[in-house]
Each structure stands twice: as structure tokens, then as C-alpha cells.
Amino acid sequence: MKLPRRKFLHLAAGAAALPSVSRVAWAQSYPSRPVRLIVGFPPGGVGDISSRLMGQWLSDRLGQPFVIENRPGAASNIATEAVAKAPPDGYTLLHVSTTNAINATLYDKLNFRRDIAPVAGIMRVPLVMVVNPSVPAKTVSEFIAYAQANPGRISMASAGNGSTAHVTGELFKMMTSVEMVHVPYRGSAPAVTDLLGGQVQVMFDPLSSSIEYIKAGKLRALAVTTLTRWETLPDIPTVGDFVPGFEASAWQGVAAPKNMPSEIVEKLNNEINTALADPKMTARLADVGGTVLRGSYVDFAKLVAEDIEKWAKVIRAANIKPE
């Protein structure tokens, strides 16, 4: 049945005027039916795995299925738009990542900042600056010197225009004044394949997809991109050790349509943070290259806003366009 606009607005106004005690009771009974957690990437990737781990935890804790729904395409924009248009009742959630923060500037007319609200972080994933062993550089300083002596002769691979690997590489170029030719691929796997084969020389790759090649000596890790060293590779320095102020990493979390009741946001945030304090969850996330990203939804919103601003400057300075 389609309600007349006046009747619909009247009902909406009445719902908004519900006393706070009713909203608290509503949040206490949430969820009373299955919840969809939409992921903008195919099954099997890091984002899909972390979403399924968190979805299972929430299902066990809250007594209703949290169903993972993969909607890949358009660099996660299809999934984001679907959640932005969903009712803000807590039954449609979004797996959100650094990609969304990049897309806020990379694409025109997106609803990410306007219609999506961060709920909680899940994990942070470092990138690692890796080179083909044929590159005569053992440190970031040596790489910078080599690149400056060979302007435009070094190819930098990425998972595609506007990917986290791409903007991280562009940030490095901006902060070191080196010239490198960007070579975009359709995903990280083919980029790493060509890096192994020597068709390209350097890449800022998520640690999870390159660590086995690093351990096997097939790729040389020069530095991690986070502020501090990574416990998985404790002997590898940070880029910031050589380029003061440099930091880049990928993060993942959960978001929802804007205007979702704060009581439900807080309930989900509390449950997710409880999961992130569990040693088994910490270990499972470490298996896919991540470390837990705990904090309030205000903390997570601040991180998202800062990354939107940070990557906007890089995208505009490098004139990056979507493929």
C-alpha cells in the first residue's frame, strides 16, 4: 500500500517525536529480525573475510543472523549507494573501508559523506613498499636516490586508478619529489604478478597479499607505510623513518544509513568493540594482515573524516581520475 505523502510525513513526524524511553526500549530489542551487512567486494577478499568474522560474532551475541551480502562493482559504490538509500533502522549495514574515503573525492555526486554514518572500526591493514629484487636499493633512501637518478624510468604498479595502493604511491611521489610511471591493474593479484616478473619495479601493496613473497625472498620489502613498525615484519622500518610525516594505511569498519538511532549505533559499536577485545578475534584478523581498530563511533567518524581530507589533497594534486 502506498501512503499519501501527507500521511507519510505525519507518521514520520510522529516517529521522530517518540520519547527517549521508547527509543531505548527499541534499541534494547534490536535486532528482532535478520540484519544485512553489505560488502562492496567479491567473496574471499580481506573485506569479505573481516565482515564474515564480525557478522558471525554479532549473530552469536545478538541472537539474529547478520547476513553478508556481496555487491561488488564500481569500487564499492554500488554497495554504498544501496545502504545510503536503505531505511536507517539498523537492518542494513555497510562494510566500509579506505576505498570509501578515497571515493568521496574520486567520484562526483556520491552520497558517502552525506548519507552514510560510521558505526565502528574493525581493523587497520598496513601497506608495504616492495620492490622487485632487481632494483638496486635496500632502503627507502637508496630507492629515492635511484629514482631521482632515473626519472620516469621506474614503473609503480597499483590495483587500479584511485586504489589505496595508487594514492599511497602518489603521496610518496609528492613527499619525495621522485618521478615514477603509474601502471594500474585490475586488482592487486595481477599487479603483484608483474612485480614478481620484473615488468614493474615497485608497489605499495597491502601486507596481506605480499608477505609470503617477502618471506620467500621473491620481493624485497623496503618499509611499511604505518607510523610504527609492524609486528609481523619487526625488522622492516617505516617509510616515515626516511620521509618524515609519511603515513598511509588501509582500514575497515561498519557504517549505516545516516540518522540511524544513536542507541542502535552505540549498541553495535559496543558489541564490535567487545569482539575486538577477544583474543580469538584478534588472532583471526591478524591472519589476514590486520590489527584491531577499537574506539567509539565518534573516534571512527574522526578517522574517516581525516582520511577523506587527506586523500582529497592527493587526488586533486595528482589529478587522479576513476577508470
pLDDT for residue 264: 97
User: Can you read off the three cell numbers belonging to residue 89?
Assistant: 533502522
3-state per-residue secondary structure call for the chain: CCCCHHHHHHHHHHHHCCCHHHHHHHHHHCCCCCEEEEECCCCCCHHHHHHHHHHHHHHHHHCCCEEEEECCCHHHHHHHHHHHCCCCCCCEEEEEEHHHHHHHHHCCCCCHHHHEEEEEEEEEEEEEEEECCCCCCCCHHHHHHHHHHCCCCCEEEECCCCCHHHHHHHHHHHHHCCCCEEEECCCHHHHHHHHHHCCCCEEEEEHHHHHHHHHCCCCEEEEECCCCCCCCCCCCCEHHHCCCCCCCEEEEEEEEECCCCHHHHHHHHHHHHHHHCCHHHHHHHHHCCCEECCCCHHHHHHHHHHHHHHHHHHHHHHCCCCC
The three three-digit cell numbers of residue 118, written as one number: 560510521
Q: What is the mean pLDDT of residues 294-319?
A: 96
Average pLDDT, the chain: 91
Res. 12: pLDDT tops 70: no
Q: Which fold has domain 33-125+250-318?
A: D-Maltodextrin-Binding Protein; domain 2 (3.40.190)
Give the model's pLDDT for residue 17.
47
What do you get for the CA distance between the two ends of the chain, in Å? 42
Domain 33-125+250-318 and domain 126-241, same fold? Reply is: yes
Identify the CATH number of the domain defined by range 126-241.
Answer: 3.40.190.10
When pLDDT is averaged across residues 222-245 and rounded to a whole number, the result is: 94
Rounded mean pLDDT of 83-105?
96
Does 171 score more than 50 pLDDT?
yes
Confidence of residue 26 (pLDDT cuts 50, 70, 90): low
pLDDT band at 4 (very low <50, low <70, confident <90, very high): very low
Q: What is the pLDDT of residue 323?
A: 78
Output the pLDDT for position 23. Answer: 57
pLDDT value at position 289? Answer: 87
What pLDDT does residue 9 have?
38
For the entire predicted model, the pTM comes to: 0.89
Average pLDDT over residues 238-259: 96
**pLDDT band at residue 24 under the 50/70/90 scheme:** low
Domain ranges in the chain are 33-125+250-318, 126-241
pLDDT at 208: 84
Per-residue pLDDT band at 195 (split at 50, 70, 90):
very high
Determine contact, residues 206/188, Cβ cutoff 8 Å: yes
Say which residue, 1 or 50, is predicted with more confidence.
50
Region 122-151 average pLDDT = 96
For a pLDDT cut of 70, what percent of the chain falls above it?
91
